[in-house]
Amino acid sequence: MLGRRLDYLILRSISHDLNRATEEELNVKATGRKPLSRDEAAAKLRTHIDRFEGRFPLSPDLRYLDMGCGTGELTAALARLGCRNVTGIDMVRRQIDAARAYALQEGMDGAVEFVCADLNTWQAPQQYDVLLSFDAFEHIDDPKGFLLRMAALAPPGGRAVLGFGPLFYSPNGDHMSEFFRVKVPWRGVLFNGQALLRVRRECYRPTDSATRLQDIVGGLNKMRYSDFCRYVREAGWEFDYLRLNARLRGKPVIGAVSGFLTQLPVLSDYFVFSVYAILRRQ
């Protein structure tokens, strides 16, 4: 906005370091995290399902793949709804170990399978009718490549169910709101990227020395909403269902304004902060 130095001074003046933690501290915290209870996992999955307004595919005859399943609570919750062929995959070993332990604890170890593997190189034993990805797509380094990989894992007519956000160019797209005292929107757009990363290192993640937002732990791919729509088409998918900014649907005035702005070319990139989509493989 005003140059790297001045942008840094502005951002530093409105930040705090109350949430400062090293990656080692975060790993310890993750290891000791209590998994979601059965009711909590069911409620969280139901929230996701409700945002698809009755279009979420649920059937005991479909094959499901939860891509980036984490600790597996939502994957197990899906199996509890009667889906009999459910696989969760994640490349982080501690996540899969926790998922398998959770499934065993909940008596679900025979109902759902967990795989520790990199999706890019994984030799899948079958194709899947429904591919799931929640709360991850804005972090994936190569989103178009990921959509192409999903297409390879699905048969013609197979569906991909996606829920993600905030996108980088939306008001809180830098995923850093929790360490600013003053919540200035569109920080990633308004301020110099190196200034933003410097404040992040000093006030938030001191052991993450990334020099690009794409390289921070967890990653931010800086994908725009218009990029996402283009990647969908180029990867051989078509939209079966699309819902933008789902959390605003219960707020009539804000929801109406959001609905108008998200339909405008160019401006939509800055006002679409969450996407719920069902894609069908052509």
- In angstroms, the Cα distances linking 233 to 74, 84, 131, 156 are 28, 31, 17, 15
Could you list the residue range(s) of the whole structural domain that residue 23 is in?
A: 1-37+169-275
Half-sphere exposure of 192 (CA within 13 A, CB side): 17
- The answer to the question of residue 128 being in a domain is no
- The answer to the question of residue 122 being in a domain is no
- The answer to the question of residue 51 being in a domain is no
- The answer to the question of residue 228 being in a domain is yes
- The answer to the question of residue 195 being in a domain is yes
- The answer to the question of residue 30 being in a domain is yes
- The answer to the question of residue 200 being in a domain is yes
- Beta pairing class for 130-134 and 237-244: unpaired
Given this model, what pLDDT does residue 77 score? 94
- The answer to the question of residue 268 being in a domain is yes
Q: How does pLDDT run along the chain (282 residues), one tens digit per residue?
A: 778 999 999 999 999 999 998 888 887 776 667 778 889 999 999 999 999 999 999 999 999 999 999 899 999 999 999 998 999 999 888 889 989 999 998 888 788 999 999 988 899 999 999 999 998 899 999 999 999 999 999 999 999 999 999 999 999 999 999 999 999 999 999 999 999 999 999 999 999 999 999 999 888 999 999 999 999 999 999 999 999 999 887 788 888 999 999 999 999 999 999 999 999 998
Q: Number of structural domains, the chain?
A: 1
